[in-house]
Each structure stands twice: as C-alpha cells, then as structure tokens.
Amino acid sequence: MTKDLPKLKNIPTHVAVIMDGNGRWAKKQGLMRVRGHEKGAKAVRQTVETCAELGVKYLTLYAFSTENWKRPKLEVDTLMKLLVSSLKKELPTLQNNNISLKAVGALELLPATAQKELQEVIQATKDNSHMSLTLALSYGSREELISVIKNIASQVKDGNLEIEDIDNEVIHQHLYTSFMPDVDLLIRTSGEQRISNFLLWQIAYAELYFTEVLWPDFRKEHLIEAIYNYQDRERRFGKTSEQL
Ligand code: IPE
Ligand code: IPE
Ligand code: MG
C-alpha cells in the first residue's frame, strides 16, 4: 500500500512519536529484544525523511525514557551503543535533508561517548533550517516540569519574576522544548494507548493517533496514514464547529 503524499495544506507543524514495540517485534521473530532495537533504529530514517519531505517543521522522537533506565543493563547498554552508531550513520541524512538535531532530557545521565557524539551532531547541523529533529533521551515529562518549577521558583525568590506574571508563556520558556511550538500530532506505535511520561504539558491539545504497527515495521505509508487521519479531524480548541 503506497499512498500519495497528503495534500500539503494542513500538514501538522509538530509531530511527536512514541516509538514503541521493538521488544515485541523481536519476540515475534524469536529474536532477542536488542535485535528489535537494532531494527527500530533503522525505521527512524524513513520517518525523518518523510516528515522532511511533507514539510513538518518539528519532529520529536521518544527514544529513551527516564523509566527505561530501570531495564536490564545489557538492554540499556545496547540502546546507548545504538544511539552512538545511529548518530554517526545518520549525519549525512540530516545534512542532505537540511535537518538540525537537538536533544531533550537529562542528557548528563547518558554515557560520555553518547553525550560527545550527540553534541557533535547537534553542532554540525545547527544551521540547518528545513526541519528540526529532537530526540527525547533520558527524558521524563514530570522531571522536566520539576525543573521548570524549580527554575521559576528561584527567579521569584531572587526578585526577577512576580508570581502574578507566571503564565503559559513563562512556563513554555522554561521547558526543555522551549524552542518548539506545542505538539499537533502525537503518534504511538505498538497498540499501547498511553503517554508514558512524554511531553505532558506540550500535548494539551495534540491529536492522538495510535496504531497497532510495531515500531520496527513502521514505514512511510503508516506515517502518511497517520497524517491523513489528522487532516480529517476538526481541532476545535474548546470552541464550537460554527466558530471555526
Ligand atoms: C520501544 O520499544 C523502545 C524503547 C522503549 C527504548 P520497547 O523496547 O518498549 O518494546 P516493547 O514495548 O517491549 O515491545
Ligand atoms: C515509552 O515506551 C518510551 C519510549 C518509547 C522511548 P515504554 O515501552 O518504555 O513505555 P511503557 O513502559 O510501556 O509505558
Ligand atoms: Mg514498550
């Protein structure tokens, strides 16, 4: 099933993806979980390229959560190695498509090699302007919100901010994702229908799209299907249809 590209009007500005189902994909093939992660890393490229082709301006990928640190050491180590090798391998894809890379999360917890590779790719792509790709790594939305609250509280304490002036915009400016608008379309693969501590503030009015497809099987046509589905929805933001 190959579909035409969705009509270019009404392409979501910010797409976020919870890339889930690598372990189950591997299990189905009788393979070790880590093989699923390897295959999952390969599925990332098509999503990145298709989003760039469609004119999505911001793509955020949930690659590793705060809670994922609790997985067996072998799995965590493999995921960190895969991160480093994928960053090395995908730099040309980012350059060829004029995509800048960013990362959000408690990045200081990543192994030194991963931090270094990440910084190199971020630096090398920082002037690319067609699309902004953000990896959520060692990311938890509650941890992000705790850091927002701490930063705002210390500004108030130091007399640099009035409590009355704390509003949506002030909170937005303190988020790890302050350089991006809110999410328009959130996709989760693998059939799970939960948020798992991802972008809680930023998805307040996102359209949610769940698919049974496991992440390693997620291809261009699945992404296009999700965007068609998004385009059929009426985003009312609390208003009535007639007001739109
Ligand atoms: C998503 O796949 C990748 C990460 C969370 C790093 P999973 O590893 O969660 O796969 P399942 O959910 O066990 O199938
Ligand atoms: C969410 O998937 C995190 C990522 C995709 C990186 P999980 O597989 O960790 O989420 P839960 O545990 O099923 O909620
Ligand atoms: Mg999972």
Q: What is the pLDDT of residues 72-98, one digit of tens each?
A: 999 999 999 999 999 999 999 999 999
Residue 72 Cα to ligand 3 midpoint, Å, equals: 14
Which two tokens mark 51? 């989003």
The best mutation among 65, 71, 197 to test binding of ligand 2, ranked by most ligand atoms within 8 Å of the C-beta, falls on: 65
Counting residues of the chain whose pLDDT is more than 70, the rounded percentage is 99
Q: In which band, very low, low, confident or very high, does the pLDDT at 2 lie, cut at 50, 70 and 90?
A: low
pLDDT of residue 156: 98
For residue 174, the surrounding DSSP H or E stretch is helix 168-174
User: Judging by beta carbons within 10 Å of its beta carbon (0-12, 13-18, 19+), is residue 145 exposed, middle or buried?
Assistant: middle
Q: What is the pLDDT of residues 141-157, one digit of tens each?
A: 999 999 999 999 999 99
Q: What is the pLDDT of residues 101-144, one digit of tens each?
A: 999 999 999 999 999 999 999 999 999 999 999 999 999 999 99
pLDDT of residue 199: 98
Q: Domain map of the chain by residue range?
A: 8-140+178-231
Instruction: Determine if ligand 1 sits within 6 Å of the CB of residue 216.
Output: no
pLDDT of residue 3: 61
Nearest ligand to the CA of 28 is: 1
pLDDT of residue 5: 78
Nearest ligand to the CA of 135 is: 2
Residue type for position 203: I
Which two tokens mark 40? 């999952």
> Which of the listed CATH numbers 3.40.50.1980, 3.60.9.10, 3.40.50.300, 3.40.1180.10 matches domain 8-140+178-231?
3.40.1180.10
Decide if 61 contacts 135 (C-beta within 8 A).
yes
205-209: Cβ within 8 A, 24+ apart: 205/235, 205/237, 206/16, 206/182, 207/12, 207/233, 207/235, 209/185
Instruction: Determine if ligand 2 sits within 6 Å of the CB of residue 135.
Output: no
In terms of pTM, does the model score above 0.75?
A: yes
Residue 193 Cα to ligand 2 midpoint, Å, equals: 11
Q: What is the pLDDT of residues 33-65, one digit of tens each?
A: 999 999 999 999 999 999 999 999 999 999 999
Is 165 annotated as catalytic?
no
Per-residue DSSP letter, 160 = S
Average pLDDT over residues 162-172: 98
Q: In which band, very low, low, confident or very high, does the pLDDT at 1 lie, cut at 50, 70 and 90?
A: very low
For residue 226, the surrounding DSSP H or E stretch is helix 220-231
Is 98 annotated as catalytic?
no
Distance CA 160, CA 236 (A): 36
Q: What is the pLDDT of residues 172-200, one digit of tens each?
A: 999 999 999 999 999 999 999 999 999 99
- Rounded to 5 degrees, what are φ and ψ at 201? -70, -40
The backbone region for 44, taken as left when phi is positive above 0, alpha when psi lies in -120 to 50, beta otherwise, is alpha
Distance CA 66, CA 139 (A): 5
pLDDT of residue 9: 85
Residue 206 Cα to ligand 1 midpoint, Å, equals: 22
Residue ID of nearest Cα to ligand 2 atom 10: 196
Distance CA 78, CA 37 (A): 8
Q: In which band, very low, low, confident or very high, does the pLDDT at 8 lie, cut at 50, 70 and 90?
A: confident
Distance CA 212, CA 20 (A): 10
Residue 69 Cα to ligand 3 midpoint, Å, equals: 13
Find the catalytic residue in 4, 10, 20, 165.
Answer: 20
Averaged pLDDT score across all residues of the chain? 96
Q: Which of 169, 230, 228 is nearest to 201 (CA)?
A: 169
Q: Which of 159, 170, 162, 69 is nearest to 110 (CA)?
A: 69
